[in-house]
Chain A
């Protein structure tokens, strides 16, 4: 391995075929992300991992690493943009952290803390989104979906199923269940599926398990997401 790129002036080695995100993660450099998961095909949709590569904005999770790239990652301007993106994710859905059972284990919340997001900045949309509680073991609260497609990819790539998909465009985009009724109870999803555990927010939840982890013992109670993301096993992304 003798090829390198630089991230914020630090020389980072990489192998051919790696993305900037993969090279950075291997070198213990944190790039904020939500739709990226090391086990699944990159999607490049949340745009939180936007970095400047030779002066041009790129998604680090999809952009191939290349010799001599000068990447800007942890800069004030880029983090401000990331904060705005996170704020937009918050106002687009109904994310009420204080009563959400995912609080303390939520990557969206943890990224917001990491980026020092102190308010929503934008007006809340208050969308009207239904909840699908039809499945005996798994619940979808569409209010908290950020359309990262991790459930879609996990179902297809790891569970060998095709339970979820995105439908609609723009502001009308939404998560659907691939069944004639559109209900989760009619799908092949079971509680042990990876897709049932992969959601980075509180949109897909295992029923009747909320609040069982005491405050103080949740993933992000005492650790910043940058540390968690770099120091724990890949499965740690699932909660």
Chain B
């Protein structure tokens, strides 16, 4: 662990190196490194410098707007927010997941498989493959999808088309590739027509074949660079995800499972509506992103990782045959222990692409997606919680409404937020192990970005806390002397101090 690099004692005397912005991630973040006179890293932080504030400004809006409004959090994984919010407002109209009409449930799942597939394909091929195919410290001009298309045209085109296919699944179900309007409280607003179903069916076999090829590719890349790929930015952590009640990989609906670094199951089949009995969030002064942790383990040890690595690590099996075979090979790599390699996120991510493609094919052959009951409702409730496995990990939406159907309270724990501590630890590890003591160059600094990128963070999704942020305001005169200081603690209390 490299926690000692979170805050340097003599920050003002240290040399500052900034990576701003962190590129090829979604949203805006920067990394600051503070170096001593020997270029030894004394402090390394990933800062999320943008602020969205959705938790606050959806208050006062009618609940049925939520799936459409909150999906604007993101242009990459809007469907995940759309569906998490929809699951929450299902409860507001008295519909629990088991009571959702079968057709609506299957259409939502189809929509979500399309989402995870396109997001993962975008991340691997467009954002990360340049690092993995050309090397982390390759020249800057090579680190883009354009260079991949030039050097490896087959891989590049397959990546673009895999993503496009996922987008087309989304368009068929929700009306638009980005920010559609499929899920409504208690169901979904349309079934697929036969023409739409047939349109998607015509390419699905090719997609499965390409997804299989992508798994082979990442496995080859990973295993031909051992032990480097296993150790780079690696850290032993807890893992959290939803699983089916029988332990299978689950992306749309399940119970919470947590395993510790040794692979012991700490929580299993937990009803996600009880999430706040198990998970709390901490705020820190230097970033807009919160730090969730498992209550039972405390702030220091309770942080955990979510996302593809967590899901593939802690599920017992995958219920589609090709992805399951890939998972078995993945786990064989670590002799059945949990895989802690941060770069193995990529491997797990592509196993999930394969699972999505297989699942889409299965659903396209299911007549339930072509019609039947689409919406139901029960007795009004005043609180709804929706949890889903978004591409980047477990996503929590929690809302309260008043008697007039207006949102009074909202809490979002966005996937990337859960990986906040881990990303910072990976940044510190890379800074300490690979950069410290060296003359820093742009290619060298890309190592830090490679570590962050492995998590596929969506920084714009993850910054919503209002009023909880500890802040420090300093008034300095023209001579540079501190005249006054105002501190706002994370409790919301203010403290005045004089220089």
Contacts and interface: CB of A to CB of B under 8 A. Distances in A.
B283 interface: no
B153 interface: no
A208 B64 contact: yes
Contacts of A210: 62, 64-65, 68, 184
Chain A contact-residue range equals 10 to 19
Chain A: interface secondary structure? loop
Interface stretch (A77-85, A213-221, A227-235): A213-221
Interface stretch (B173-181, B221-229, B241-249, B461-469): B173-181
Contact of B68 (A101, A139, A214): A101
A207 interface: yes
B133 interface: no
B190 interface: yes
Given A133-B404, A214-B181, 13 more contacts: A98-B72, A98-B179, A99-B68, A101-B68, A139-B62, A139-B405, A207-B62, A210-B62, A210-B65, A211-B68, A211-B181, A215-B180, A215-B181
Chain B contact-residue range equals 20 to 34
Nearest to B60: A131
A116 interface: no
Interface in A111-141: 131, 133-134, 139
Contacts of B404: 133-134
B54 to A, nearest CB: 11
B406 interface: yes
B65 A99 contact: yes
Interface of A: 98-99, 101, 131, 133-134, 139, 207-217
Contacts of B93: 208
Nearest to A139: B62
A202 to B, nearest CB: 10
Nearest to B377: A208
B185 interface: yes
A99 B182 CA distance: 13
Nearest to A101: B65
A217 B174 CA distance: 12
Given A133-B406, A215-B175, A215-B181, A101 B189 contact: no
A139 B174 CA distance: 26
B67 interface: yes
Nearest to B375: A212
B72 A99 contact: yes
Contacts, number: 54
Contacts of B68: 99, 101, 210-211
B102 interface: no
Sorted nearest first, the 8 A-B pairs with minimum C-beta distance are A215-B175, A133-B404, A214-B190, A99-B69, A210-B64, A211-B181, A214-B189, A133-B406
Nearest to A207: B405
Chain B: interface secondary structure? loop
B179 A211 contact: no
- Highest count of chain A CB atoms <10 Å: which of B62, B72, B189: B62
Contacts of B174: 215
Nearest to A208: B64
Contacts of A98: 72, 179
Given A99-B72, A207-B62, A212 B189 contact: yes
Contacts of B61: 131
Interface in B332-386: 375
Contacts of A209: 64
Given A98-B72, A99-B72, A211 B405 contact: no
Contacts of A207: 62, 64, 405
Contacts of B181: 211, 214-215
A214 B62 CA distance: 19
A102 to B, nearest CB: 11
